[in-house]
């Protein structure tokens, strides 16, 4: 259990803990008190110790999300965050797989969750305040609907169902870029990015827009307050509004995903907006083209700018980049933060020498995570105590890590290995290109050929031959795509990662 919220509520009760842009805010006292009241309400509704509770809320309900997350843990439950954009079949799978006892939902999600409810589901807690057309539960034996007001109206004094360090805290479902999402079991002993620290308060802000149900979103629930900072959350990323918020709120830290960074760089206001408050700019969830890091650093010369690396399965194992090193080491995601360890290995599991590309393995001693209810997938994920990340990378002579792509994204063209990110980082620098994703397509002679899916800036018009001519001086000729498919947008999951299997499926469908 993370007791830091309680301690902050005791020492800094009236300070704003979290601001949700254009929605509202929570003080530490409000957050703590509402969470305690809701914890009692969850127990009264029937939540057993270790019972799973799905949080299925739209981004604008972020304040309810924050209260729910803390309340579930206080009630002795396990939080199961879910993407509100999931299809009903996906929701049904997660509810059934996790064995959720309760769901906290709003809007049309209430009826959707009732429609796909599993046998273990007791009730859906409806956060749709003020809405009159509430769905009706299927029958007397099925899950019932409980209003948010009903479950949060009780005693706000301290509440905590006893839990042990190795008890489940969360089940986080992966983003599913390569197949059906898996549930990562997070225990109280390895749930926090920052360990136990003394309460402090600076009032500085940390701005992010990553969905709360993602690994990055979860990490930024409690991390700001542990560093004495206020969380600032933008429920739906919009570059213009984000720039406004930076000038209005003056955050000290910001977190972006690469897609957000590209949108900001393309915004005409980016060159003139006041970014001087920012001391730390972290970009995570996917590899970032070196020129984007350079551009961010140029606009925030006094900030620590980095393309961070981490993953749900690795927990609090992540990389750090000292100030100024990101520009000196283009493409690096930094050095692994102690006590975590990282290795680069070949196909036989042997360590690779510096600057040689291999499989990235990570380890955080004593904090191994597993896939919930899936021992076979867990066994594949861990080899000899090391996490098989599925990423390809290298370590330089100083121990800095470089991620060059996913192992499944390597395109073998005529016997030559082509790393998709190398090609993407070149093509995206063309003035007409907004975004690009590179995949392999079957070829009768070469085995695979290199194909680029390209999104152009509005108003720009270039063809494939122009892009090929642009890339030839910058890449080995076998890496340069010969086929360019121009699209309005790239398919992405909730964390901003491009869903490449969908692109490969489009190619396969076109070829059939």
Query: pLDDT tens digit string along 462-504?
Result: 999 999 999 999 888 889 999 999 999 999 877 778 888 889 8
Q: What is the pLDDT of residue 307?
A: 83
> Over pLDDT 70: what percentage of the chain?
95
Q: Are 147 and 123 in contact (CB under 8 A)?
A: no
| pLDDT over 60 at 148, yes or no | yes
Q: What is the pTM of this model?
A: 0.84
Pairing type for strands 370-371 and 183-187 reads: antiparallel
| pLDDT over 80 at 1, yes or no | no
- The DSSP symbol for 165 reads T
Span 76-81, mean pLDDT? 97
Can you list the alpha helix ranges (DSSP code H) found in 46-120?
62-74, 88-98, 108-115
Which residues, in sequence order, are CB contacts of 349 under 8 Å at separation 6+? Answer: 383, 384
Overall size of the chain counted in residues: 512
Question: Roughly how many angstroms between the first and final C-alpha of the chain, as a whole number?
Answer: 53
Q: Are 442 and 448 in contact (CB under 8 A)?
A: yes
What Å distances lie between residue 392 and 179, 262, 345, 420, CA to CA? 19, 23, 9, 11
Q: What is the pLDDT of residue 354?
A: 95
Q: Look-up: residue for tokens 């901003």?
A: 496
Q: Look-up: residue for tokens 């270039």?
A: 462
Residue by residue, DSSP assigns 412-475 as EETTEEEEHHHHHHHHTTSTTEEEEEEEEEEETTTEEEEEEEEEEPTT----HHHHHHHHTTTS
Span 107-132, mean pLDDT? 87
Select the more confidently predicted residue: 134 or 308: 308
3-state helix, strand, coil in the chain (%, to 5): 30, 25, 40
Residue 146's beta-bridge partner residues? 125
Q: What is the pLDDT of residue 490?
A: 92
What is the CB-side half-sphere exposure of residue 382 using CA atoms within 13 A?
18
From the list 182, 130, 156, the residue with the least C-alpha distance to 378 is 182
Highest average pLDDT, of 50-64, 403-417, 453-467, comes from 50-64
Span 421-440, mean pLDDT? 91
User: Is the dihedral angle over the CA atoms 338, 343, 349, 354 positive or is it negative?
Assistant: negative
Confidence of residue 132 (pLDDT cuts 50, 70, 90): very low
**Burial class (CB within 10 angstroms; exposed 0-12, middle 13-18, buried 19+) of 97:** buried
| pLDDT over 70 at 141, yes or no | no
Query: Under DSSP, is residue 232 helix (H, G, I), strand (E, B) or coil?
Result: strand
**Burial class (CB within 10 angstroms; exposed 0-12, middle 13-18, buried 19+) of 445:** exposed
| pLDDT over 50 at 205, yes or no | yes
Q: What structural domains and CATH numbers belong to the chain? A: 4-188 (3.40.50.980), 414-511 (3.30.300.30)
Give pLDDT tens digits for 249-284. 999 999 998 888 988 998 999 999 999 999 999 988
Span 12-28, mean pLDDT? 97
Select the more confidently predicted residue: 189 or 55: 55
Give pLDDT tens digits for 302-361. 999 988 887 778 777 678 888 888 888 888 888 988 888 999 999 889 999 999 999 999
Type and span of the H or E element at 484: strand 483-486
Q: Which of 164-178, 327-341, 350-364, 370-384 has the lowest mean pLDDT?
A: 164-178
| pLDDT over 60 at 398, yes or no | yes
Alpha-carbon 462 to chain mean position? 33
What is the CB-side half-sphere exposure of residue 59 using CA atoms within 13 A?
16
């Amino acid at each position: 259990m993370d007791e830091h919220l309680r301690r902050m509520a005791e020492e800094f009760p009236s300070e704003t803990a979290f601001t949700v842009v254009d929605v509202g805010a929570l003080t530490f006292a409000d957050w703590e008190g509402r969470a305690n009241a809701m914890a009692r309400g969850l127990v009264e509704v029937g939540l057993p110790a270790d019972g799973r509770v799905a949080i299925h809320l739209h981004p604008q309900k972020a304040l309810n999300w924050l209260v729910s997350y803390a309340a579930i843990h206080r009630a002795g439950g396990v939080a199961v965050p879910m993407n509100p954009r999931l299809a009903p079949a996906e929701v049904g799978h997660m509810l059934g797989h996790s064995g959720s006892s309760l769901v906290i939902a709003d809007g049309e999600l209430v009826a959707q969750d009732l429609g796909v409810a599993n046998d273990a589901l007791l009730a859906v807690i409806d956060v749709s305040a003020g809405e009159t057309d509430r769905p009706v539960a299927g029958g007397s034996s099925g899950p019932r609907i409980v209003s948010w007001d009903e479950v949060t109206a009780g005693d706000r004094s301290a509440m905590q169902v006893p839990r042990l360090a190795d008890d489940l805290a969360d089940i986080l479902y992966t983003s599913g870029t390569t197949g059906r999402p898996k549930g990562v079991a997070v225990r109280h002993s390895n749930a926090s990015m920052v360990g136990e620290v003394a309460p402090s308060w600076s009032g500085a802000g940390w701005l992010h827009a990553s969905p709360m149900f993602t690994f990055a979103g979860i990490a930024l629930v409690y991390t700001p307050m542990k560093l004495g900072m206020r969380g600032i959350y933008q429920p739906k990323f919009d570059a213009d509004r984000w720039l406004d918020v930076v000038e209005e709120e003056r955050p000290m830290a910001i977190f972006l995903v690469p897609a957000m960074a590209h949108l900001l760089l393309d915004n005409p206001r980016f060159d003139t907006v006041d970014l001087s408050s920012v001391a730390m700019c972290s970009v995570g969830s996917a590899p970032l083209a070196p020129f984007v890091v350079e551009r961010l650093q140029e606009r925030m010369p006094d900030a620590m700018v980095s393309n961070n690396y981490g993953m749900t399965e690795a927990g609090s194992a992540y990389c750090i980049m000292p100030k100024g090193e990101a520009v000196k080491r283009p493409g690096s995601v930094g050095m692994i933060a102690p006590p975590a360890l990282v290795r680069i290995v070949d196909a036989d599991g042997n360590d690779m020498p510096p600057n040689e590309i291999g499989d990235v393995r990570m380890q955080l001693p004593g904090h191994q995570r597993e896939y919930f209810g899936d021992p076979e997938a867990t066994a594949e994920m861990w080899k000899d105590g090391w996490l098989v990340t599925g990423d390809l990378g290298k370590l330089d002579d100083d121990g800095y890590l470089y991620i060059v792509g996913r192992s499944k994204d390597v395109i073998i063209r005529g016997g030559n290995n082509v790393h998709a990110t190398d090609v993407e980082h070149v093509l995206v620098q063309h003035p007409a290109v907004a975004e690009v994703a590179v995949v392999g397509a079957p070829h009768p002679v070469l085995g695979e050929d290199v194909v680029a899916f390209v999104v152009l800036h509005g108003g720009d018009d270039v063809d494939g031959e122009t892009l090929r001519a642009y890339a030839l001086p910058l890449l080995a000729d076998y890496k340069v795509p010969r086929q360019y498919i121009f699209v309005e947008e790239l398919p992405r999951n909730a964390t901003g990662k491009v869903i490449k299997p969908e692109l490969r499926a489009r190619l396969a469908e076109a070829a059939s």
